[in-house]
Amino acid sequence: MPKGGWSNPPSGFMSEVEGYINGFQRRIATDALSMVVIGSPVDKGAYRGNHRVTINSIDISYSLDDVDKSGQETISRGTSVIDGAKLVYKEIVIQNNLPYGESLEVGHSQQAPQGIYGPAMATLAAKYGGKQ
């Protein structure tokens, strides 16, 4: 290695770094999606079925017909979006737009008295070393 310099320029390993970042983002996003879906209270299954995953955008839609009591279809649909995108330098958005979602998030459900997204994010922060 030359004195005081790089033997290989940093750009030479950029694709390796981007691959690592992409994999890390994918793991976190998939964990987050699973946590919010499985942590969602279930009556008819509409709340579980209305979690939306987008990349660098938001989706303000919802449908009371999107029912998924087990959550597996919703997780599969969201994971497909996550797996189908190059995530490096992109924002992954997981959201639920049902009108009663905010009430659920502030504890108006005996099945999820602490909410859904808040506890999932706290768990993710603890798991991946982030600060809350």
Amino acid identity, residue 47? Answer: Y
- Domain borders along the chain are 16-128
Instruction: Give the C-alpha separation, 64 to 56, whole Å.
Output: 25
Please tell me the distance from the alpha carbon of residue 27 to that of residue 22, in angstroms, as a whole number.
Answer: 9
What digits encode the pLDDT tens for the residues 25-71? Answer: 999 999 999 999 999 999 999 999 999 999 999 999 999 999 999 99
According to DSSP, residue 25 is labeled H
Measured between alpha carbons, how far is 26 from 74 in angstroms, rounded to an integer?
A: 16
Two tokens, residue 107: 């504890």
Scored b (16 or more CB within 10 A) or e, 82-95 reads beebebbeeebebb
pLDDT per residue as tens digits for the range 66-121: 999 999 999 999 999 999 998 888 999 999 999 999 999 999 999 999 999 999 99
The pTM score is 0.88
3-state class (DSSP) for residue 22: helix
